[in-house]
Structure 1
Amino acid sequence: MPRQQTPGGVDLSRARSTAAAVTSLTALAAMSLVAGPAVADSGAGPCALTRTAAHHSLGLDSWNRAYPKPERTLDAVMVFLSFPDHRPAFGTEEIAADYFPATSEFFERASYGRFHLVPHPQQRWVPMPRPSTAYGIQRDWAPEDRAAYLRDAVAAADAEVDFGAYDVVYFVADPDAPGVDSDATKVVNFDRPIRADGGQLRRIVTVFERHPPDRNVLAHETGHVFDLPDLYHRPTDGKGDWDTHVGDWDVMGSQFGMAPDLFAWHKWKLGWLDASQVDCVQSGSSLHTLQPLAEAPPRGGTGGTRLAVVRTGPGSAIAVEARGSAGNDGDTCTEGVLVYRVRNEAASGGGPIEVLDGHPQTEACWDRSVYPPLADAPLEVGETFTVPGERITIEVADRTRSGAYTVKITT
Structure 2
Amino acid sequence: MSRIRHPEVDVPRQHRPGGVVERPSLRSAAAALTSLLALAATGLVAGPAVAASRDASPCALPRTGAHHSLGLDTWNDAYPRPDHSLDAVMVFLSFPDSEPAVTPDVLAADYFPSTTRFFKRASYGKFTLRAHPQQQWTRMPHPSTWYGIQRDWGSEQRTAYLRDAIEAVDDQVDFSTYDIVYLVADPDAPGVDSDATKVVNFDRPLRADGADIKRVVTVFEEHPPDRNVLAHETGHVFDLADLYHRPKDGKGDWDTYVGDWDVMGSQFGLSPDLFGWHKWKLGWLDRGQVVCVQGSADLTLEPMAEVPVPGGSIGTRLAVIRTGTDSALAVEARSATGNDRGTCTEGVLIYRIHNRTPSGGGPIEVLDTHPDSDACWERSVYPPLADAPLREGERYSVPGERTRIEVADRTRSGAWTVRITTGT
The two structures have a TM-score, normalised by structure 1, of 0.91
Q: Which has the higher contact order (CA 8 A, sep 6+)?
A: 2
The reply to whether residue 281 of structure 1 matches residue 293 of structure 2 is yes
Partner Cα distance (1:115, 1:353) in 2? 24
- Deviation for aligned residue 1:240: 1.3
Preserved contact between residue 45 and residue 275 of structure 1 (Cα < 8 Å): no
Structure 2 counterpart of 1:403, from 385, 392, 414:
414
Matches within 5 A, 1:164-313: 164-283=176-295, 285-313=296-324
- The aligned residue for residue 127 of structure 1 is 139
Give the conservation status (yes or no) of the 8 Å contact 2:79–2:238: yes
Separation in structure 2 between the aligned mates of residue 349 and residue 44 of structure 1, nearest angstrom: 27
- Determine helix, strand or coil for the equivalent of 2:136: strand
> Which ranges in structure 2 are unaligned for 5 or more consecutive residues?
10-54
> Could you tell me how far apart the structure 2 residues matched to 1:223 and 1:92 are?
23
Write the distance in 2 (CA, Å) between the matches of 1:332 and 1:258: 5
Q: Which residue of 2 aligns with 1:12?
A: none
User: What is the aligned counterpart of 2:8 among 14, 27, 31?
Assistant: 31
Query: 1 CA distance for matches of 2:181 and 2:140?
Result: 17
SS at match of 1:27: coil
2:313 equivalent to 1:336: no
Distance 1:201 1:120 in 2: 17
* Partner SS for 2:75: strand
**1:100 maps to which of 109, 112, 117:** 112
Quick one: distance in 1 between partners of 2:63 and 2:179? 23
Q: What is residue 162 of structure 2 aligned with on the other side?
A: 150
Partner secondary structure for residue 253 of structure 1: coil
Hey, what's the Cα distance between the residues in 1 that align with 2:90 and 2:313?
33
| Equivalent-residue separation in structure 2 for 1:184 and 1:28 (angstroms) | 15
Q: Tell me which residue corresponds to 1:60.
A: 72
Match of 1:15 in 2: none
Task: Please provide the CA RMSD for this pair.
Answer: 1.0
Deviations 1:86-122 (A, max 9, x none): 0001110000000000000000000000000000000
C-alpha separation between the residues in 2 aligned to 1:69 and 1:29?
23
User: How many residues were matched structurally?
Assistant: 377
Counterpart CA distance in 2 for 1:346 and 1:274 is 26
Taking the aligned partners of 2:389 and 2:271, their CA distance within structure 1 comes to 12
TM-score in terms of structure 2 length: 0.88
Q: Deviations over 1:157-176 (max 9, x none)?
A: 11111011000000000000
> Structure 2 counterpart of 1:27, which letter?
I
Q: Give per-residue Cα distances to partners, 1:247-268, cap 9 Å, x unaligned.
A: 0000000000000000000000
SS in 1 for 2:157: helix
Is 2:372 aligned against 1:361?
yes
Following superposition, the deviation at residue 193 of structure 1 comes to 0.9
Q: Secondary structure at the match of 1:63?
A: coil
Residues 307-352 of structure 1 deviation map (CA, whole Å, 9 limit, x = unaligned): 0000000100000000000010010121000000000000000100
Q: SS where residue 120 of structure 2 aligns?
A: helix
Kindly state the Cα deviation for residue 301 of structure 1 after the two structures are TM-superposed: 3.7
1:379-411: per-residue Cα shift (whole Å, max 9, x none)? 001000000000100000121000000100000
How much does 1:195 deviate? 1.2
Q: Is the 8 A contact 1:279 1:307 kept in 2?
A: yes
Deviation at 1:46, TM superposition (A): 1.1
Instruction: Please give the alpha-carbon distance, in whole angstroms, between the structure 1 residues aligned to 2:182 and 2:314.
Output: 33
C-alpha distance in 2 between matches for 1:332 and 1:53: 34
Instruction: Tell me whether 1:348 sits opposite 2:359 in the alignment.
Output: yes
Show the counterpart of 1:109: 121
Higher Cα radius of gyration: 2
> How far apart in 2 are the matches of 1:325 and 1:29?
38
The aligned residue for residue 38 of structure 2 is none
Contact 1:282-1:310 within 8 A present in 2 as well = yes
Query: How far did 1:300 drift?
Result: 2.5
Task: Decide whether the 8 Å contact of 1:322 with 1:338 is kept in 2.
Answer: yes
